[in-house]
Amino acid sequence: MTLRLFDTLTRRLQPVEPLRDQEIRMYTCGPTVYNRVHIGNFRTFLFEDVLRRWLERRFERVVHVMNLTDVDDRIINNARESGHSLDEETAPWIAAFFEDRDTLGIRPAHHYPRATEYVAQMVELIERLEREGAAYRREGSVYFHIPAFPAYGRLSGISADQLIAGASGRVDADDYTKEDVRDFALWKAVAPGQAGWDSPFGRGHPGWHIECSAMSMTLLGESFDIHCGGVDNIFPHHENEIAQSEAATHKQFVRMWVHSEHLRVDGEKMARRTGRFLRVPEVLEQGASAAALRYLLAASTHYRKPLNYSDEPLAASREAVERLVSFRDRLRELQPSGEDEDTELADDAVLTAVRQARTGFDDAMDDDLNLPEAMGAVFASLRDINRVLDGAPSGGEALHAVRSLLDEVDDVLGVFPLVDRERELAGGLDEEEESLLQQRAAARQARDFALSDRLREELARRGIDIDDTPGGQRWKRSA
């Protein structure tokens, strides 16, 4: 089956067909580093991480670029108020983003261009637009002229006529929270003493939209395969990227636009300006695990559907992770049995379930990256495999096939490394805890279940949960 994704521009599922043989070039809009990123943003970043991982499964080479917007009006104002340079102002927020990225197991992009490092390329692109008659200067600033690009509005469905009708004024504000529908700023003049760069247009700084066009085309070429972001990027940001890029190059800017839906709290979009937002450290401090948070944001709901954040779906995600980890731990303890008729029958059943899981997982992922449905196929097969393992021992081939399946699934899902890291940080058992576990194992062997239950309760008070399995008792630290 061919991987198909929903393309926002054509509003239909489209096959992913690279412009270059077996190479996918992908650009994802990164954070604006004026504060710590909230988990609503990380829903988008995790969708992009899952997409990146699946593309790497399907194609020989993937080049992933994520920008860091380290200059905009808010950053400039914050730097002025704190007496910092732009680098000093943004450095802690860039470090915090990378820390949260690593906490959630997101694979680093191949390139993290910072807007301040590509000002020369932005100036060059603006000059190209001037030569094409698509940009004009006004009082030290430069604006893109929307009537110069008749195709404006294809991505968002916004009527270009309506935009032009309201364009009697010129907008000098490029704040992300203000979605002005008139001609937009490519270069913004600054007052004496304010942070800025010298340019042929005068001293100023780039507008938000020109940053992504210049950085993406510099690193990926004037036409590339996939551009991602949240649905709030569609207008005006991505609409403006298309206009300024294609007006300059006369080439298709991006083959496929893919957007993820919002994360909501109590039915409302998670956003800093509404006060309804949570950051990764806050969620973990409230008792969630990084693996459960990753599963919730990436695998509990399809990326094109709104996801409501609450305790209930977070608990369900924790349970899903625990089921996977418990099954993996069970597999690690099992030893292959000798060959006999029961083992051969068990192996046939296990291998059939593995094939079904792999087919279901792959088909769901190729169908617009449907990770929730893919995980449903995996869990259904794991239930079947567990029943087989409960009834008869399996041989080495079957056990190897199941372990390989889990590795392949988690190469996309990405929760096992987070669980293992958490276990390592939690540490092992002390001598007294080890003794209690040994006493409980002996009590169960002697069928003294009353003592076994009392010891389980004592271990639970110490934060140790026990699972009794056909391979013996297993412990883990409470979440």
For range 339-368, the mean pLDDT: 90
Q: From CA 83, how far away is CA 65, in angstroms rounded?
A: 31
Separation in Å, CA 395 to CA 96, 338, 392: 47, 7, 10
Percent of the chain's residues with pLDDT above 70: 92
Region 7-280: CATH code:
3.40.50.620
The letter for the amino acid at 475 is W
Question: pTM (2 decimals)?
Answer: 0.87
DSSP string covering 33-96: TTSPPBHHHHHHHHHHHHHHHHHHHHSSEEEEEE-BB--SHHHHHHHHHHT--HHHHHHHHHHH
- Chain centroid, CA 301 distance in Å: 13
Predicted pLDDT of residue 158: 86
Q: From CA 93, how far away is CA 106, in angstroms rounded?
A: 17
Tell me: pLDDT of 169 over 70: no
Give 420-475 pLDDT, tens digit per residue: 998 888 776 777 887 788 789 888 878 888 998 999 998 888 888 887 765 467 77
Given pLDDT bands bounded at 50, 70 and 90, which one contains residue 277? confident
In a 13 Å sphere around the CA of 50, the CA atoms on its Cβ side amount to 32
Predicted pLDDT of residue 44: 98
Region 287-424: CATH code:
1.10.730
For range 144-163, the mean pLDDT: 86
Predicted pLDDT of residue 472: 62
For range 384-396, the mean pLDDT: 84
Helix axes 290-299, 311-333, angle to 10 degrees: 110
